[in-house]
Chains A and B, each alone.
Chain A
Amino acid sequence: MSASSVDEKLASAEFIKGLWRENPVFIAVLGLCPALAVTNSLQNALVMGAASTFVLCGSSLLVSLMRKVIPKPVRISVYIIIIATFVTIVDFVLGALMPAAQKQLGAFIALIVVNCLILGRQEAFASKNGPWLALADAAGMSLGFTLAMAMIGGIREILGNGALLGIPLFGPNFEPWVIMVLPPGGFLTLGALLAFFAYLKTFRKGAR
């Protein structure tokens, strides 16, 4: 087996683990601030997911390429500055391409900088692995993050607005469950999802 195919296998393993087994929101409970704050509709969740994906992939790649040049004692500050640069790019690009969405997400785009998920991946993975692996890890993690946010956003929009992506689902007689699109709904939805996954786990153990 050639070295490159071993590399590819490793990379695909790093990619897949972020989707479910080490899902940043559901398993590691990281990056909660954006995961709850902007998920009052599916569209917001997807825009936020795309923005985080760009930032995480970009900074993981850069940190991994520079991992031998960054002095250890100041590494965290260097990571933060790299992340902040990518976030600034995203903020300005969104402002130019989708001003309405940028306005709705407001300061939360800028707050990607302090998302512990992104800094955590730099410290735990990108600073110790080559660019190819780091990129696979970042892509998997951010896809898992986007997936989790889309799930929360979808549930909250359906229950709180009776719609999905702005398209009404239930007709005029549906009484929207308004609390779900307000802040408490975020906590309740994530709590219910976590409890549901814990329930599934006990179920699987019992069957075995």
Chain B
Amino acid sequence: MPDFVAEWVWVFAAACLVNNFTLTYFLGLCPFFGVTGRLDTALRLGLANIFVLLITSVAAWFLNTFVLAYAPYLRLISFIVVIASTVQFVEMAIRKLSPALFRALGLFLPLITTNCAILGLALFQTNRGYDLLTGLVYALGAGVGLTLALVIMAGLREENELAAVPKVVRGTAMSFFVAGLLSMAFMGFAGLFSSTG
């Protein structure tokens, strides 16, 4: 396997499993607790997120390489403006090109703008100095990890509705305990890479 492919696999797995955005960085918690009531909505939101993450990754790379080298103090402001306008643009494009997909994603697209995972991705990618392609792999890994966490959480919560738990932990508190256990389970993936260094 050539070196760069090995690096991509590593970056992907690290973003998706070991450093899962939701469960170890606590990014994107609002949809995680807000809309994970049902399995199919969770999956759709995850897919919308992957889409926006990929576009953001490219946009952030271009900004970083061509603009922000000259004005680092504008980093945060320009990132957030670019993310907000890309989401808006993507929303309009989808509405024109595929009304069916637009209805399926619905309200989630505009909500994604204020999802911390998106800005987090742009910032982490910059801090680590990834190039364009590695950045894209990183975005894909992060998105798949996010979707994975959302779907697992939604499945667990559907089961939880029927479980007989004490009244005081019913609802939000129970979701936090479930998320804590899930986060512990994902910590196990850290062992994947310890032997290979």
Q: Hey, which bits of chain A sit against chain B, CB under 8 A?
A: 29, 32-33, 36-37, 77, 80-81, 84-85, 87-88, 91-92, 106-107, 110-111, 113-116, 119, 179, 182-188, 190-192, 194-195, 198-199, 202
Tell me which residues across on chain A come within 8 A of B187, comparing CB atoms: 182-184
Tell me if B123 and A116 are in contact (CB < 8 A): no
Q: Provide the residues of chain B in CB contact with A84, threshold 8 Å.
A: 76-77, 80
How many residues from B make CB contacts under 8 Å with A? 40
| B26/A114 in contact, CB under 8 A | no
Q: Is the CB of A92 within 8 A of B167?
A: no
Task: Assess whether B80 is in contact with A80, with CB atoms less than 8 Å apart.
Answer: yes
Q: Shortest CB–CB separation between residue A182 and chain B, in angstroms? A: 7
20 sample A-B contacts, Cβ–Cβ < 8 Å, listed by A number: A32-B30, A33-B27, A77-B81, A80-B81, A92-B73, A111-B119, A111-B120, A111-B123, A113-B80, A114-B80, A114-B116, A115-B116, A116-B114, A182-B187, A183-B25, A185-B180, A187-B176, A188-B177, A191-B169, A195-B169
Q: Which of B27, B28, B76, B114 contacts A91 (CB 8 A)?
A: B76
| 8 nearest A-B residue pairs (beta carbon) | A191-B176, A187-B180, A194-B173, A188-B180, A184-B183, A195-B173, A37-B26, A198-B168
Q: Mark B159-197, 1 if CB is under 8 A from A, else 0.
A: 000000001110011111101110110010000000000
Judge whether B180 and A81 touch: CB under 8 Å.
Answer: no
B80 touches A33 (CB 8 A): no
When A77-B81, A202-B167 are in contact, do A191 and B124 touch as well, CB less than 8 Å? no
Q: Bound complex: CA of A51 vs CA of B177, how far in Å?
A: 28
Per the 8 Å Cβ criterion, residues 48-69 of B in contact with A are none
Question: Pick the contact of A187 from B114, B115, B177 — CB < 8 Å?
Answer: B177
Q: Is the CB of B80 within 8 A of A107?
A: no
Chain B positions 28 through 45: 1 when the CB is less than 8 Å from some CB of chain A, otherwise 0: 111001000000000000
Determine if B176 and A190 form an interchain contact, defined as CB atoms under 8 angstroms apart: yes
Would you call B183 and A183 a contact (CB within 8 A)?
A: yes
A106 to B124, CA, bound (A): 9
Query: Is A81's CB under 8 angstroms from B115's CB?
Result: no
Which chain A residues border B77 with CB–CB below 8 Å?
81, 84-85, 88
The listed residue with most A CB atoms (<10 A of its CB), out of B75, B176, B177, is B176
Q: Decide: B173 and A116 in contact? CB cutoff 8 A.
A: no
Q: Which residues of B contact A88 (CB under 8 A)?
A: 73, 75-77
Q: Cβ of B156 < 8 Å from any Cβ of A?
A: no
Option from A80, A114, A202 in Cβ contact (under 8 Å) with B115? A114
Contact B120 A187 (CB under 8 A): no
Chain A residues with CB under 8 Å of B184's CB are 179, 184
B169, A110: Cβ atoms closer than 8 Å:
no
Residue of B nearest to A89 (CB): B73
Q: In whole Å, how far is B33's beta carbon from the nearest beta carbon of chain A?
A: 7
Given A32-B29, A190-B176: A107 in contact with B123 (beta carbons within 8 A): yes
A199 CA to B118 CA, complexed, in Å: 36
- The chain B residue with its CB closest to the CB of A196 is B168
Query: How far in angstroms is the closest Cβ of chain A from B140?
Result: 20
